[in-house]
Structure 1
Amino acid sequence: MGSGPHRFVHLFLLMIPTWLSSSFSDAYKFYVGGKDGWVVKPSEEYNHWAQRNRFQINDTLYFKYKKGSDSVLVVKKENYDSCNTKSPIQKMDGGDSSFTFDRSGPFFFISGNAGNCQKGQKLIVVVLAVRHHKPQSPPPVAAPGLSPASGSPPAVSPGSWSPEPSEGPSSTGDVAPAPSPGKDGSGSMRFGVGERSCPSYNTQHVVDKVKDDDGKLRWKRVKVKPEEHVKVPIFPETESGIYDQYFDDYVSRILTERTPNSKPLWEVHVIKYPTTNAAGTVIMKLHHALGDGYSLMGALLSCLHRADDPSLPLSFPSRPENSTKKSILKRLPSAISSFFDSIPDFGWSLIKSGMMEDDISPIRSGFEGTESQPFALSNILFSLDRFKEIKSKLGVTTNDVITGMISYGIRLYMQEIDYETRMANSTAVVMLNTRKIEGYQSVKDMLKPDSKGQWGNRISFLQVSIPKLSQDSISNPLEFVWKAHKIIKRKRHSFSVFLIGWLLDLEMKLRGHEAVAKHIYTTLGNCSVVISNLNGPIERMALANHPVKGFYFTMTGGPENVNITIMSYMKTLRVTLRTLKGFIDEHKFKCCIQNAFEVIYKAAMEETQKNPELN
């Protein structure tokens, strides 16, 4: 168990409906200059913008400018270099002009005003060639301990990846020197996804080599070798052409494998095989030492853009502001109540973290070292509109409904596996971000010393008892929503979360990262379920110009047997379940969560019919 604290890892999974190397029939429209349009001094240099995007045949460039004051010329390279406007290949001067790529290779654009061109109003775009060859698959290798006749799919080859040189500007060359690591060991680098660059981290934790005079481990700056971190697995062919089983087994292996300390702590896995959910999947495995979910999400969003209009920023759900401002006298009773609520909450949290364990149950085995055992990953997709419908009917929040559904689903599963455990003492640890900021920031902004959303691990946690499945709650499942509403309302005004965050910061300063990791590891081990959530964009995103169908994440490396993550994206809510294989029946657990939602939804609709005042 001693190695546990080193293992915390985030997995972000992007589901691609049409794969990166698929047909180019899905053309994409690029807005040159974004919101600035075709001007002399855009906020981002045109060629820098082109370097971080991926262009294919049939894609279109859209130039926005005022008719009569400027134009766009397609020219040869020598005329591009000299800003010669006299003999263009094509001239566009209609005000809002579009240009569609009909071949691969470089294209050169300049302003029809020679003076503007000399000031930098010019653009080079390199269109990728289409490759029709299919990589040959090596003979499948049987998994250790399994015979080919066992019916289990063979293990997959990890494959390899290396950047291919191309004409014109490229963003996948040598890694730029990283800035000096910060106090939390942060640095920076860029790695390419298609032709789009994404910020990541150029830091390495070398256990045996980098120690100071006190024997403390430090970060070491290294030059990243992309081929060691970007992996393209090769699966054996299937008759159906669908690779669900191979994909599930591959993800299970990623969840179990420990990130080596001998190189930078990140990996990208590109799954170029269709499943029933998507044509391909990109998996980003990022060690928690690099940053928490907020930090890593901000970095990941730097690789993505709005699918409908890349010139516009992604937007995220926001909390409704409280328009009524209370005087100090009116707020005083609430502050006093919060203070007296916070003390027992904080004390109970310390006891739960240090000495009080949950009961052994169908969701908590109590075994040590389960983090190194195989885990299964499954997803449930819900309509956010249906959650909002329950919310408006009952007069609660969306979080109340989600929490009530998960609690009720967990208890249904426990009762089905072992009836007696419906009354077991079970606790959920809710991981929280302590930054007082809405939305995400870019990596550049997060690294600023005065940033409100600083990069790193700014986390706390909240321990919440899972309501027991009494006879009353069986007859009225809305009891779980009401209890969730009451608990969340009380905890929202408690200082306990910030006291725990302050305690973790103090422990880090006095005892170091390892002590904090051990503290969190023990806390998770004493409880039954770990829950965390992130807000995704409201609009559809695109990766290297390809729309992202689904987006979810999970955490691995902790001692818990059940980990639940929640991600909103567009008008959907995805609940991801990471469950211990051989102990948790993942199919039954998933069905119980789904059934819990349907039962709560039906009860909410019937409740409003019985009590019209709830409408």
Structure 2
Amino acid sequence: MHIGNGRMKNKEEEGEEEPLSPMARVFQSPDIDICAIINIGFKTKINPDVVLDALRHNVYKHPRFSSKLSENGAKWIETEVNVEDHVIVPYVDLEEICESGQSFVDDYCSRLTMTPLDRSRPLWDIHILNVKTSDAEAVGVIRFNQALADGMSFISLVLACTHKTSNPSMLSTATPLVKRRTTAPHSLEKTGWFLRAIFTIGSTMRLIWNTIVDVLLLGATVLFLKDTKTPLKGNANVRRNPRRFYHRTISLDDIKLIKNAMNMTINDVLLGITQAALSSYMNRQYLVSQKQDKNDELEDGSLLTSYLPDGIRFRAGCTVNLRSDIGFKSLAEMMVKDSKCRWGNYFSFIILPLSIALETDPLVYLEKSKAIMARKKHSYQAALAYFFINIILKVLGAKAASLAFNQHLKNITTCVSNVMGPTEEISFHGHPIAYISPSSYGHSQASLIHYTSYAGEVTITIGVDPTIIPDAHKICDDMEESLKTMKAVLLERGLL
């Protein structure tokens, strides 16, 4: 596992300490203890000796993976790492599991969500499952406390650990690094100073207004504003329940076609697909519930009628990268102290109000998602939320900060996240990767939705509490169907 030119640890540095970032303090809190769990499918069987050898030679180069938490959870303390303690290869009776390889992987990952990481050593482990599934010959499961890194940091680590399958001598690459846009729209660049001034004043006033409204709504959400109780809303004990994870792959090219046709971003398209899929899924749930109450059977065409209650408040937390550079740098650059694209947990969150309704025109979901995202991009709520968490930490302590963060999660319904991955197929020491499917557990919600792009495809990963959502694979079906329907409508109207 080549992870770049990280700093080596020597005898004199043994026991060196480094403070945790504000979000890392929240994530490792015993009251939350959020962990990432990433399934990586491989096209060949995994050789455990290769993994162990790579870890022995390189894990100490990364300070987060060679550090444990202090007793109060406020600092990282460098320590010696015995990699054999962190790599687990369970015994698998291949004859017994036969054709149910995916079920074995799903059950194994679900049990992991009920097994805490050992806090006496670095908070990560790797599980090697040489089990054939529908889309992989073997699966590697990487688990770590979310305090170690956010999604962007993890992908930078993946890129540093792997090489292009097409050219094993070249390191992996992701979407090129770009700067955040801070200038006025292109159409105003050649206008007079007066029009530009009017635009700037109007834009500034709108930014201030949006920020005030968003901060007030965030405060209300923490204190009392709850989402409507729906078939997807978790209960008070959802954080302590086991999780199950489902993934599905869709075409990135199809998403880009829709993006270009509708003049929007990839995130807008993904949010539109999410709204459409969740609306369809929930409509079926309410239909089934009504039919059961009346002891009626489902009729053909009944799904074309809306059974959704009016005025559903359904919101999703969405992660926002706070780094000044978006895209990816090499891991070595991210580890530099003053890097603008630094390793760690440098992100915040926004709250997206989703439209749950049965639309006759599927493009309406896309138009609504574009409007939602445009509105949220013109607000400083994400930066202020991070600032407030930091202030609460310093004034009231980690427990209070964790309580505030967890309370807002309890009162919304779900979380969504999109992470850009490698643009080409990659391999880890001769093991080609088929897919990357990240999720997490420890949240106070019954469902989490992650999107991860990889080699021309997007993997949808849904993590759920199966006691509340026992058929999450149907949400994946709805997402696939929503994408196909949107593309078909655009083709029919001659917009592609």
DSSP 3-state at the match of 1:189: helix
CA distance in 2, matches of 1:370, 1:277: 30
Q: Which of 225, 234, 239 is 2:91 aligned to?
A: 234
Which residue is 1:13 aligned to?
39
CA distance in 2, matches of 1:592, 1:514: 39
CA distance in 2, matches of 1:340, 1:227: 54
CA distance in 2, matches of 1:570, 1:445: 24
Q: CA offsets per residue over residues 261-305 of structure 1, 9 Å max, x none?
A: 232210111111211211111111010121222223322322112
CA distance in 2, matches of 1:566, 1:11: 14
Q: Which of 223, 226, 240 is 1:354 aligned to?
A: 223
CA distance in 1, matches of 2:269, 2:36: 26
One-letter identity of the residue aligned with 1:269 = H
Q: CA offsets per residue over residues 380-400 of structure 1, 9 Å max, x none?
A: 211111112222232322222
Q: Is the 8 A contact 2:436 2:452 kept in 1?
A: yes
Please show how residues 412-423 of structure 1 align to structure 2 within 5 Å. Answer: 412-419=280-287, 421-423=308-310
One-letter identity of the residue aligned with 1:595 = E
Which residue is 2:447 aligned to?
562
How far is 1:255 from its partner? 2.6
How far is 1:313 from its partner? 4.3
Q: Is the 8 A contact 1:256 1:371 kept in 2?
A: no
One-letter identity of the residue aligned with 1:342 = T
Q: Which of 469, 472, 480 is 2:365 aligned to?
A: 480
CA distance in 1, matches of 2:81, 2:248: 36
Which residue is 1:541 aligned to?
426
TM-score (structure 2 length as normaliser): 0.80
Which residue is 2:301 aligned to?
none
Q: Which of 398, 422, 430 is 2:266 aligned to?
A: 398
One-letter identity of the residue aligned with 2:387 = W
CA RMSD of aligned residues (A): 2.8
How far is 1:443 from its partner? 4.0
Q: Which of 401, 409, 417 is 1:524 aligned to?
A: 409
- Name the CA shift for 1:383/1:244 in 2 (closer, same or farther; >3 Å): same
CA distance in 2, matches of 1:417, 1:3: 35
How far is 1:537 from its partner? 1.2
Is structure 2 residue 126 aligned with structure 1 residue 268? yes
- Between Structure 1 and Structure 2, whose CA radius of gyration is higher? 1
CA distance in 2, matches of 1:450, 1:3: 26
Which residue is 1:149 aligned to?
none
Decide which moves more: 475-484 or 13-22.
13-22
Unaligned runs of 5+ in 2: 1-27, 288-306
Q: Is the 8 A contact 1:16 1:548 kept in 2?
A: yes
Please show how residues 120-199 of structure 1 align to structure 2 within 5 Å. Answer: 172=56, 189-190=60-61
How far is 1:544 from its partner? 1.0
CA distance in 2, matches of 1:392, 1:296: 29
One-letter identity of the residue aligned with 1:202 = S
Unaligned runs of 5+ in 1: 23-52, 55-160, 165-169, 176-187, 191-197
One-letter identity of the residue aligned with 1:274 = K
Is structure 2 residue 477 aligned with structure 1 residue 591? yes
Q: Which of 381, 384, 387 is 1:502 aligned to?
A: 387
- Name the CA shift for 1:435/1:222 in 2 (closer, same or farther; >3 Å): same
CA distance in 2, matches of 1:507, 1:297: 30
One-letter identity of the residue aligned with 1:13 = N
CA distance in 2, matches of 1:218, 1:399: 35
CA distance in 2, matches of 1:421, 1:256: 34
Q: CA offsets per residue over residues 161-207 of structure 1, 9 Å max, x none?
A: 9x57xxxxx8726x8xxxxxxxxxxxx825xxxxxxx775222125x
CA distance in 2, matches of 1:378, 1:288: 20
Q: Which runs of 4+ in 1 moved over 6 A?
A: 319-323
Is structure 2 residue 172 aligned with structure 1 residue 286? no
Please show how residues 13-92 of structure 1 align to structure 2 within 5 Å. Answer: 13-21=39-47
Q: Is the 8 A contact 1:291 1:456 kept in 2?
A: yes
Which residue is 1:77 aligned to?
none
Q: Is the 8 A contact 2:278 2:356 kept in 1?
A: no
Q: Could you say which structure has the higher helix fraction?
A: 2
Identity %: 22
How far is 1:536 from its partner? 0.3
Q: Which of 201, 219, 222 is 2:79 aligned to?
A: 222
CA distance in 1, matches of 2:236, 2:78: 34
Is structure 2 residue 68 aligned with structure 1 residue 204? yes
Q: Which gives a bigger RCO, structure 1 or 2 (Cα 8 Å, sep 6+)? A: 2
CA distance in 1, matches of 2:60, 2:223: 39
DSSP 3-state at the match of 1:258: coil
